[in-house]
Amino acid sequence: MAASEPASAALRCEAQINEALANMSIPQSDVKSIKVARQGKGAKSATNYSWDAWVRLNSCNGYVMVHMTRTCHVQQVYTTGDCKVDGMPRY
């Protein structure tokens, strides 16, 4: 898993990201790369933040986005670009 945060931060949410992809029937063989970024929120961003996983697939041009709380609870999964997954919103 590639990450824009230290490896330990990305690995912290790895199981939840993989579970979200599996729940949407996205095979690991279709995953080209995963980048995890911490998103700060407001003046207290040191303690008030979330994680976004940008999942690049081999089968499309765009991303599957996995938005999580700071404790890695998946809140939303959606696609961008020309990626389309049944049952998943696309923005």
- The pair of structure tokens assigned to 43 is 């003046």
The confidence score (pLDDT) of residue 56 equals 97
Which residue ranges in the chain fall short of pLDDT 70? 1-10, 42-47
CA–CA separation, 81 and 11 (whole Å): 26
pTM surpassing 0.85? Answer: no
The confidence score (pLDDT) of residue 15 equals 95
The confidence score (pLDDT) of residue 72 equals 93
* Residues 64/26, Cβ–Cβ less than 8 Å: yes
Q: In the chain, what are the domains?
A: 7-79 (3.10.450)
Residue with tokens 């407001």: 42
